Amino acid sequence: MTTLPEAGAVRIVAANAAAQAAGVDPGLSLTDARAILPSLKVVEADAAADRACLDGMLAWARRYTPWIAIEGVDERGGAGLWLDVTGCAHLFGDERALIEDFEVRLNRFGFISRFGVADTPGAAWAAAHCMASQGDPAIVPSREERVHLAHLPMAALRLSAQNLETLKRLGVSTISDLLALPRAPLTRRFGSEVCLRLDQLTGRVDEPLSPEAERLPYVARVNFAEPIGRTEDVEAALLDLLQSLCTRLEKDRKGIRRLAFEVFRVDNTADRINIGTAKAVRRPEHLFRLFREKLDRLDAGFGIEFLMLTVTATDTMESEQDGIQSLGCSDVSNVANPGRDLTLLVDRLESRLGAGRVVRPHKRESHIPERAVGLIPALGLKTQEALAGYAREAALLHGDIGSLRPGSRPIQLLPKPEPVNPMPVEPNTPLVRAVPLPGFSWRRRMYCLAAAEGPERIAGTWWRGALPPDRSGEEHSYFTLCEDGGAIREYWRVESETGARFWLFYMPYPLQRDHTSHEQRWFLHGLFA
Amino acid sequence: MQDISRHRPKLDDLRNRIGSIEGLPRAADAVISMGLEAIDQALPWGGLPLSCLHHVVGEADALPPSAFASSATAFVATLAARLKGRGTVLWCLPRYKAADALYGVALAMLGLEEEDLILVRAKDESEALWAMEEGLCCSDVGVVIGSLSAPLNLTAERRLQLAAERGETTGFLLQPGASVSSSSAAVTRWRVAAAPSAAPLWTGLGPPRWSLALDRCRQGTPHSWIVEWCDETSDLRLATPLCDRSINSVSAAA
């Protein structure tokens, strides 16, 4: 049973046979229904899911007729399928055989169905809703609607709730009652609706069905009379296929995100090349260049029999105007709307180098140096979102993110801080220019310090507990030490005698788990310009 | 010795003709100021020519920190930030080396914000070279930087130079200066190394200094300077006014 809130009360939209047998009918409020049947199982109505289910059923039911449409989906559900079986029923024997076939198959899918067949859509609707029951389709013989449907209640007429109520109060309860009434006063009283529905039922007014357009998958294929083997031939055929696909996609205002190119050889073997794009693309030349990087490794074998191109992912894409960008007035550095050449370049680089290799550094809000920058894909929706999100954050914090003093961060940051050995302090030698240590050795080389600036104290994120491991899966030992609260680093900018500048840090509370005999306190984290 | 001064117009004309055959930038082509008049004047074009390849090397020392070439990296990043109005900056680097060390926060401070910069993390140097060439041919890219550790052969450099001319992009080959071949297809070669900074008035560090040398320059003569880098304004200034010596006297002094 499904429900929908309406006018302050949750009302029942649909109920199964067992519930209806117990007296729970659509239109009842949920509290009343619960009073009647406490064991009710309630689900909220989901019109979108209903629609999706009907769409699927519609695509499937094309086996019976190409002229097929969905019948009135509104927010209350209560929908069905229209099938125009004119000229199709004989393929299954007759109408009854067709319906039996349909019903058996639907049953196997787990659907309960009711069928009505008649000359007009209106009569078929009335038959399906008010005459048929499960497993017993109502078939109205041709031109006998008036005879067969006369006894049906007014609900069979697809009238609005208001008109239905008024007719009921007037004592008009069946279609024969209505047919007996004069038409002119009826129209004056109820508007055109009642007469129109009546005429649609009897066939006096035509009611056309507009069938849903068939959605074909985006596949293009080409067969060769003789097997081909030359790369030039494959390229030419591929370009043709791409062109035909792109024309189709343009009509549907879609662009390609992923594409598979399959090659079938005469000896029943196949090969496949996949490409992906950072942004929806619809230009054959662009896609062709992405494929050409990979066509070299294609082996023609004994010859290629046919080629197939399948679009595996699409995005909506509005049609674009040619020419403006080639005039040189494009805003090239705009991420939201990158130039066409840049999109092509990123796609080509990614298709050859692999995913995740063409990136942008992306600042994150973190005071821990190694976490302040991440990598995001160079182009695409995600990138736009990330950049927009960062701009928003920065605006909220009034530029707090970028408030580091220029020159206070090294141009190169080592992925992992490297331990350095401090030079022993000789007694009675005053340290020059307030350096914290006279020198250090790093990567088997000594550096004597001439000047220093610091310390800048950076504490771990004790409030976050253990940080998740890096994306590479490699656990950062310096991240994990943040959890025990002892991860305070004191950063020094130091300059050696030759002028090289380093970013060193000192840990006042070194790690307990360090297995080396002496405590490691000094690390090198970056290099300044 | 004959007086050659009367032949100078003829010689200049000849130089220009040879230069146009070689595809060298002419003075009329687009240039960008190096941010320091003394350096601009030392270049025959009145600035750093665009649409060609430049070679920037670090210190002549294979050991760290020279292997990171931090000063050269910052030098190139500054120039790229000046050029970002001409298109996206594409930085190609083999991902296993110093490449991963490039720090986005500092790059943003130099003016290379994330929307201006695309990093290409290549598997090896040949992939990085391929990516560089692709980038140089792309009209939406303004600057291509390639961080490489091994010196390129002349053919590879020539390819990049031609691609830069074709795509009207500016290329920078960034290399730690361990081993640099003497011949090069690049238009200029710069050597950037850290130099000891002057003591500040109070405690702490003074502005960093670089010893900047124009090693090779087509149609020009080598020069060297000690410059001070001002991080607030991304500007260079001469450390001392008397530093403009020719490279020979510097090497003789060293």
pLDDT at A39: 82
| Residue B144 clears pLDDT 90, i.e. is over it | yes
CA distance A491 to A33: 70
Query: Total structural domains in chain A?
Result: 4
| Residue B172 clears pLDDT 90, i.e. is over it | yes
Q: In A, which residues are within 8 Å of B196 by CB distance?
A: 450, 495, 497-499
Summarize the confidence of residues B221-232 as an average pLDDT: 84
Residue contact B117–A369, C-beta within 8 A: no
A368 part of a folded domain: no
- Residue A7: give the domain boundaries: 2-40
Same domain as A51, residue A134 = yes
Residue that the structure tokens 């980038």 belong to:
B135
CA distance A341 to chain B (A): 6
Same domain as A192, residue A63 = yes
CA distance A482 to A465: 7
Same domain as A195, residue A68 = yes
CB-CB contact of B119 with B102 (8 Å)? yes
Catalogue the E-assigned strands of A121-241: 138-139, 219-228
Q: Name which of A343, A349, A359 to mutate to probe chain B: the one with the most chain B Cβ atoms within 10 A of its Cβ.
A: A349
- Residues of chain A with pLDDT > 90, as a percent, come to 6
Q: In B, which residues are within 8 Å of A434 by CB distance?
A: 203
CA distance B181 to B195: 24
Q: Which residue of A has its CA nearest to B115?
A: A335
| Residue A27 clears pLDDT 50, i.e. is over it | yes
pLDDT at B54: 92
Residue-wise pLDDT for A100-119, tens only, equals 999 899 889 888 888 889 88
More confident residue, A477 or B7: B7
Residue contact B109–A407, C-beta within 8 A: yes
By mean pLDDT, which of A266-280, A317-331, B155-169 is the weakest?
A: A317-331
CA distance A499 to chain B (A): 4
Same domain as A58, residue A159 = yes
Summarize the confidence of residues B40-47 as an average pLDDT: 86
pLDDT at A510: 63
By mean pLDDT, which of A313-322, B48-57, B86-95, B198-207 is the weakest?
A: A313-322
The top-scoring range by mean pLDDT among B5-19, B150-164, B193-207 is B150-164
By mean pLDDT, which of A8-17, A145-154, A274-283, A394-403 is the weakest?
A: A394-403
pLDDT at B65: 58
The top-scoring range by mean pLDDT among A155-159, B53-57, B67-71, B111-115 is B53-57
Confidence band for A471, pLDDT divided at 50, 70 and 90: very low
CA distance B10 to chain A (A): 38
The top-scoring range by mean pLDDT among A144-153, B18-27, B97-106, B200-209 is A144-153
pLDDT at A222: 92
Residue contact A413–B103, C-beta within 8 A: yes
Same domain as A198, residue A52 = yes
Summarize the confidence of residues A363-390 as an average pLDDT: 77
pLDDT at A332: 39
Summarize the confidence of residues A410-417 as an average pLDDT: 86
Residue contact A412–B116, C-beta within 8 A: no
Cα Rg of chain B (Å, integer)? 18
Q: In B, which residues are within 8 Å of A362 by CB distance?
A: 104, 114
* Nearest C-alpha neighbor of A527 from the set B90, B74, B166: B74
pLDDT at A55: 83
Summarize the confidence of residues A212-226 as an average pLDDT: 85
Residue contact B88–A528, C-beta within 8 A: no
Any idea what DSSP says for residue B83? T
N-terminal to C-terminal alpha carbon distance within chain B: 33
A163 part of a folded domain: yes
Out of B101, B109, B196, name the one closest to residue A412 (CB). B101
Residue contact B105–A369, C-beta within 8 A: yes
| Residue A319 clears pLDDT 80, i.e. is over it | no
Same domain as A59, residue A35 = no
Domain residue limits, chain B? 51-253
Residue contact B118–A359, C-beta within 8 A: yes
**Global pTM?**
0.67
Q: In A, which residues are within 8 Å of B142 by CB distance?
A: 332
More confident residue, A421 or B16: A421
Out of A358, A493, A528, name the one closest to residue B120 (CB). A358
pLDDT at A470: 47
Cβ contacts of A238-241, under 8 Å, gap ≥ 24: A238/A288, A238/A291, A238/A295, A238/A307, A238/A309, A239/A284, A239/A288, A241/A307, A241/A309
CB-CB contact of B74 with B109 (8 Å)? no
Q: Which residue of A has its CA nearest to B128?
A: A353
Residue B100 near chain A (CB below 8 Å): yes
pLDDT at A482: 43
Same domain as A22, residue A54 = no
CB-CB contact of A119 with A143 (8 Å)? yes
Q: In A, which residues are within 8 Å of B140 by CB distance?
A: 330, 332, 338-342, 345
Residue B62 near chain A (CB below 8 Å): no
CA distance B119 to B130: 14
| Residue B145 clears pLDDT 90, i.e. is over it | yes
pLDDT at A12: 80
By mean pLDDT, which of A327-341, A386-400, A420-434, B162-176 is the weakest?
A: A327-341
- Residues of chain B with pLDDT > 90, as a percent, come to 11
Q: In A, which residues are within 8 Å of B88 by CB distance?
A: 332-333, 338, 342
A386 part of a folded domain: no
Residue B131 near chain A (CB below 8 Å): yes
Same domain as A98, residue A17 = no
pLDDT at A337: 60
CA distance B4 to chain A (A): 44
CB-CB contact of B57 with B47 (8 Å)? no
pLDDT at A474: 43
Summarize the confidence of residues A291-296 as an average pLDDT: 84
CB-CB contact of A143 with A231 (8 Å)? no
By mean pLDDT, which of A167-181, A290-304, A501-515 is the weakest?
A: A501-515
pLDDT at A243: 92
By mean pLDDT, which of A178-182, A357-361, B66-70 is the weakest?
A: B66-70
Q: In B, which residues are within 8 Å of A330 by CB distance?
A: 140
More confident residue, A390 or B31: B31
Summarize the confidence of residues A328-353 as an average pLDDT: 69
Summarize the confidence of residues A451-471 as an average pLDDT: 68
CA distance B182 to B154: 10
Q: In B, which residues are within 8 Å of A413 by CB distance?
A: 101, 103, 106
A455: preceding bond cis by omega (within 30 degrees): yes
Residue B123 near chain A (CB below 8 Å): yes
Same domain as A272, residue A133 = no
CATH code for the structural domain at B51-253: 3.40.50.300
Q: In B, which residues are within 8 Å of A372 by CB distance?
A: 104-105
More confident residue, B132 or A438: B132
Same domain as A151, residue A11 = no
| Residue B136 clears pLDDT 70, i.e. is over it | yes
Residue B96 near chain A (CB below 8 Å): no
Residue contact B121–A450, C-beta within 8 A: no
Q: Is the ipTM of this complex over 0.95?
A: no
pLDDT at A476: 45
Which residues in chain B (27-56) have CB-CB distances under 8 A to chain A?
none
Which secondary structure element, helix H or strand E, spans residue A60, and what is its range? Answer: helix A47-60
Residue B124 near chain A (CB below 8 Å): no
Q: In B, which residues are within 8 Å of A441 by CB distance?
A: none
More confident residue, A514 or A431: A431
> What single string gives the DSSP state of each residue in B29-56?
S-EE--S-HHHHHHSTTSSEESSSEEEE
Residue-wise pLDDT for B73-85, tens only, equals 899 998 999 888 8
| Residue B35 clears pLDDT 70, i.e. is over it | yes
pLDDT at A202: 86
b/e map of A351-389 (b: 16 or more CB within 10 Å)? Answer: bbbeeebbbbbbbbeeebbbbbbebbbbbbeebbebbee
pLDDT at A462: 67
Residue contact B229–A529, C-beta within 8 A: yes
CA distance B208 to B231: 9
pLDDT at A336: 53
SS3 (DSSP) at A315:
strand
* Nearest C-alpha neighbor of A311 from the set A212, A213, A221, A235: A221
Q: In B, which residues are within 8 Å of A333 by CB distance?
A: 84-85, 87-88, 115-116
Which residues are A456's β-sheet partners? A491
Same domain as A223, residue A166 = no
Contacts across the A-B interface (CB distance below 8 Å):
190
Same domain as A112, residue A166 = yes
pLDDT at A329: 40
Q: In A, which residues are within 8 Å of B118 by CB distance?
A: 346, 358-360, 378
Q: Which residue of B has its CA nearest to A336?
A: B115
Summarize the confidence of residues A428-433 as an average pLDDT: 62
Residue B70 near chain A (CB below 8 Å): yes
Q: Name which of A383, A385, A412 to mutate to probe chain B: the one with the most chain B Cβ atoms within 10 A of its Cβ.
A: A412
Residue contact B71–A529, C-beta within 8 A: yes
Q: Which two three-digit tokens encode residue A131? A: 């005459």
CA distance A71 to chain B (A): 50
| Residue B240 clears pLDDT 90, i.e. is over it | no
Q: What is the mean pLDDT of chain A?
A: 79
pLDDT at A331: 41
CA distance A445 to A440: 8
Summarize the confidence of residues B65-74 as an average pLDDT: 79
